[in-house]
Structure 1
């Protein structure tokens, strides 16, 4: 295989795998009958990971516009899954935190994610999955560090 074909194949595999993974996640969340949309589920998981972050930071991590995140947060707040609390270091800003009600839903979302990853890695040895994770982390870090 020549270098151009190898590059094209690798680029396609990475981008198409991300597309297929996202579509499968969305389908699983919808089929699970959770009270949130797939985008709201992603937002909720990011709120959990960033714990007390501002809307701007959540949007940056998700790779979407802050106003889009604002709409998701509004819905999650209406469902009493998150709260916006004053930021003690900047009174103009709010920190987004989970409510106790969110914990059960997050467990259900994580269960769907675990099932999805089990499906995606079916037939792979644990050692192969570990190598795959290291390779993806390296690719991610290399691209994230690029100017």
Structure 2
């Protein structure tokens, strides 16, 4: 009889938690009356943390297609929450910045995130939360290194051809 995968294996649990957390965040934003879709809210928060980044870099960090991000950016720009500026090092690229009008909205989104995380982490002590955060940051760093190694290997193979 073939062995069955363990549904509580770390990888499965991380994927389940990430999916469920994103879904809970999207529901919370959709019902908060902020006037943004959950995707637009995620985009605005990400821009605020990556202020002055290129569109492509933001899309990659969010794990979405550049065209999807472009749609979110068009809407956020039309609402006056972001601006696109030419990249001085590449005239084809745009750098994305939040505007002062976005600050209260970003604060509202942050309040929703904090409220959600307080609910999700209830019953877990501060020390455990900090330890979990540090361990997850280590996993993230390891995954980033793996991606960089994969990209380097692909480049080497391409150059060898």
Shorter-chain TM-score category?
over 0.9
Deviation at 1:5, TM superposition (A): 5.6
- Residue 64 of structure 2 corresponds to 64
- Residue 76 of structure 1 corresponds to 76
User: Structure 1: how far apart are the matches of 2:60 and 2:66?
Assistant: 8
Deviation at 1:9, TM superposition (A): 2.1
Q: Deviations over 1:36-66 (max 9, x none)?
A: 1000001001111111111111101101111
Look at both structures and tell me which one has the larger radius of gyration over its CA atoms: 2
Runs of 5+ unmatched residues, structure 2? 151-161
User: Structure 1: how far apart are the matches of 2:43 and 2:121?
Assistant: 24
- Residue 22 of structure 1 corresponds to 22
Counterparts in 2 of 1:1-147, with a 5 A limit? 9-146=9-146, 147=150
Deviation at 1:8, TM superposition (A): 5.5
User: Structure 2: how far apart are the matches of 1:93 and 1:136?
Assistant: 32
TM-score, structure 2 as length reference: 0.85
Cα distance change, pair 8–118 in 1 and its aligned pair in 2 (3 A): closer
User: Structure 2: how far apart are the matches of 1:8 and 1:117?
Assistant: 22
Q: Deviations over 1:87-140 (max 9, x none)?
A: 122222211111111000000000000011111110111001011101111111
Cα distance change, pair 99–70 in 1 and its aligned pair in 2 (3 A): same
Which 4+ stretches in 1 moved above 6 angstroms? none
User: Structure 1: how far apart are the matches of 2:115 and 2:57?
Assistant: 28
3-state SS of 1:101 partner: helix
3-state SS of 1:123 partner: coil
User: Structure 1: how far apart are the matches of 2:109 and 2:133?
Assistant: 21
Count of aligned pairs? 144
TM-score, structure 1 as length reference: 0.92
Runs of 5+ unmatched residues, structure 1? none
